[in-house]
Amino acid sequence: MKPSLAGLPFAPIAGAVPAWRAPVDERAWRAAFEQAKLAGGRLGALWASDDRDRHGGFTVSALLALHEGLACIELGLAAGSTKYPDVSNLFACAGRMQRSAFDLLGVRAVGPSGEPPDARPWLRHGAWSEREFPLRRDFDSASGTPPGRDDYAFVRVEGEGVHEIPVGPVHAGTIEPGHFRFSIVGEKLLRLEERLGYKHKGIEKRFESLSLEDGARLAGRVSGDSTVAYAWAYAMALEGASGTQPDARALMLRALLLERERVANHLGDLGYIGNDCALSFGFAQFWRLKEDVLRANERHFGHRYLMDRIIPGGVACDVDAAAAQALTDDAIRLKEELRTLRRIYYDHTGLQDRCITTGRLAPATAARLGVVGLAARASGHAMDARAYPGFAPYDVLKPKVISHRNGDVAARVVVRFEEAFESLRLQRMILKNLPAGALRVPLPAMDDPAFGIGWVEGWRGEVLVALECGRDGCVRRCHPHDPSWQNWPALEHAVIGNIVPDFPLINKSFNLSYAGADL
């Protein structure tokens, strides 16, 4: 089955997920997005590359998530050209991705008038000049670039009694840095505008100085809370590009690690949601349980967050019979504990009063914004890359996709509880039926250019990795894509009409990654 985008010369991309790529021209670029939109597809990721050494110009690429799988379309710009057609009026989430592509490579998405829909920078603050583009191959990363101007124009809300609250980048708690500009009347939120990019530390440029093998370590540090999902997505991309098939045991162990990451994060979020509702009992209880999971990770896998346990070709850990028994016992115990706490959360009037109808992201808004992952599932969209396309070994495990229609904080609490239960069930299934086999198969020497795609459903949502291998086993271009790109704009919508003191609760219920989207 090929993608249902007519007239494009799709060629399959080898690997664990159904994916194709096709070169397009400017007209076909827009047309592909229009067709994808009509077919109910989503925009997975959009990025640009410096391919002047190959075809004389830059390349803009996009991953479209369709029913059939991922379609990677690549628009090679003519030498000297830095403009391509804007698609943010078709897929709203493209806006920030296009602005980032400009900041890093100097290629501009323009509408029919020839003007960009939003010319403000996104990742570039004052750290480098507006005339320099760090991901161009002739940019010298070591040179201390003179700082550029940093005057960001926020949208101003006017009217009687409207005032602004600027928050961040340094927040009041242990939170990643970002700036939130609230426009309010009394207690009521009229508008939230996010300004992110504070954590931009040049990850994509860094990739290009690493070998394919070392890139795995960096991929695992794009967003620390999703290190397993990133390491797997990177490994999947590299394995596809190199024609490597990991063993069944390694794949099952990867799923075990991914589910342990999911449970640990859901426990932490459930604790903090209790905390933000002034139920500190919930924080203490869930963080006790999370700490138990982390300590078991350290004991059985050698790292509390399972960093660097997934490596290209397989895994760097194993589970023997005694460990399998201990982990199974843990899972059963945790299920019982979770049942007790779920009862308490659901019966707690104060907590429910804070969560129900708060921070509502309506299903239609979620669809329009291209929201993914847990937030999408809590707003009526039952998408989950583990179930569809169902990459191995989830094709065998057949996870149940949890969803809810209300889209409020309470719905995101329910989805977290139910996903944690499902995840524990999957863990027990994996531990009971661990196939024998190699932990790691060696990767062949990679001397020629190749391309691979990784697509993994992490706890927050889908993590995508597009990996272009250069000559001599080096990374030519790697774009790791966090679900937070799509979901941050949804937070701006979910808070409208809520009161300011509910913002931390709503924000926590999404718990998006700053690091993952700032790169």
| Contacts of another protein in 105-144 (CB under 8 A) | 125-128, 134, 139, 141-143
Answer yes or no whether residue 339 interacts with another protein by CB under 8 A.
no
202 lies in the site for another protein, by CB under 8 A: yes
201 near another protein, judged by CB under 8 A: yes
Q: Up-side HSE of residue 168: CA atoms within 13 Å toward CB?
A: 22
What b/e sequence results for 206-221 when a residue is b if at least 16 CB atoms lie within 10 Å of its CB, and e otherwise?
bbbebebbebbebbbe
What DSSP string runs through 419-457?
HHHHHHHHHHHHHHTPPP--SB-PPPP--S-EEEEEEEE
Residue 232 engages another protein in binding (rule: CB under 8 A): no
| Residue 477 found at the interface with another protein (CB under 8 A) | no
Nearer to another protein, 69 or 480 (CB): 480
Check binding of 334 to another protein (CB under 8 A): no
Which residue in 72, 101, 203, 212 binds another protein (CB under 8 A)? 203
Q: Report how far residue 10's alpha carbon sits from residue 6's, in angstroms, rounded to the nearest whole number.
A: 10
Instruction: Please state, in angstroms and rounded to a whole number, the distance separating the CA atoms of residues 92 and 87.
Output: 8
Token pair, residue 87, equals 């698609």
Which string of x and - marks every residue 161-200 that binds another protein (by CB under 8 A)? --------xx-xxxxxx-------------------xxxx
Pick one of 61, 223, 297, 406: the residue that binds another protein (CB under 8 A).
223
- Taking the least distance from each CB to another protein, the nearer of 225 and 457 is 225
Interaction of residue 205 with another protein, rule CB under 8 A: yes
Q: Which is nearer to another protein, 176 or 492 (CB)?
A: 176
Q: Does 2 bind another protein (CB under 8 A)?
A: no
When asked if residue 344 is in the footprint of another protein (CB under 8 A), the reply is yes
CB of 436 to another protein, least distance (A): 32
| Cβ(460)–Cβ(265) below 8 Å | yes
CB of 102 to another protein, least distance (A): 16
What distance in Å separates the CA atoms of residue 460 and residue 222, rounded to the nearest whole number? 14
CB atoms within 10 A of CB 60: 25
Q: How far does the chain reach from its first CA to its final CA, in angstroms?
A: 34
For 95, the enclosing helix (H) or strand (E) is helix 94-105
Residues 252 and 489: their CA atoms lie apart, in Å, by: 35
Q: Which of 82, 145, 245, 328 binds another protein (CB under 8 A)?
A: 145
| Residue tagged 């229009």 (tokens) | 34
Candidates 10, 21, 65; CA nearest to 42 is 65
Asked if residues 420 and 261 have their Cβ atoms less than 8 Å apart, the reply is no
Q: What share of the chain is helix, strand, coil (3-state, %, to 5)?
A: 40, 20, 40
Kind plus residue range of the DSSP H or E element containing 182: strand 179-185
Q: Name the residue nearer to another protein (CB basis): 128 or 488.
A: 128
Contact stretch for another protein (CB under 8 A) within 86-94, 183-191, 342-350, 358-366 = 342-350
Q: Which of 206, 335, 368, 425 binds another protein (CB under 8 A)?
A: 206
| 481 is a site residue for another protein (CB under 8 A) | no
- Does residue number 509 form part of the binding site for another protein (CB under 8 A)? no
Residue from 26, 118, 130, 291 binding another protein (CB under 8 A): 291
Q: Which amino acid is at 255?
A: A
Q: Nearer Cβ to another protein, position 17 or 289?
A: 289
Contact 461, 415 (CB under 8 A): no
Between 113 and 174, name the residue whose CB sits nearer to another protein.
174
**Min separation Cβ 126 and another protein, Å:** 7
Minimum CB separation of residue 259 from another protein in Å reads: 17
Characterize the bridge pairing of strands 57-66 and 11-12: unpaired
Stretch that binds another protein, among 60-68, 283-291, 315-323, 494-502 (CB under 8 A): 283-291
Nearest Cα residue to 116 out of 134, 131, 103: 103
- Contact of 446 with 400, CB cutoff 8 Å: no
Instruction: Write down the least CB distance from residue 220 to another protein, Å.
Output: 9
299 is an interface residue for another protein by CB under 8 A = no
Per rule CB under 8 A, is residue 351 in the interface with another protein?
A: no
Whether the CB-CB separation of 386 and 457 falls below 8 Å is answered with: yes
Dist. CA 107–CA 93, nearest whole Å: 17
Interface with another protein (CB under 8 A), residue total 59
Measured from the CB of residue 217, what is the shortest distance to another protein in angstroms?
Answer: 6
The residue ranges that bind another protein (CB under 8 A) are 125-128, 134, 139, 141-143, 145, 147, 169-170, 172-177, 197-203, 205-206, 217-218, 221-225, 227, 268, 272, 281, 283-285, 287-288, 290-291, 294, 304-305, 307, 340-341, 343-344, 347, 513-515, 518
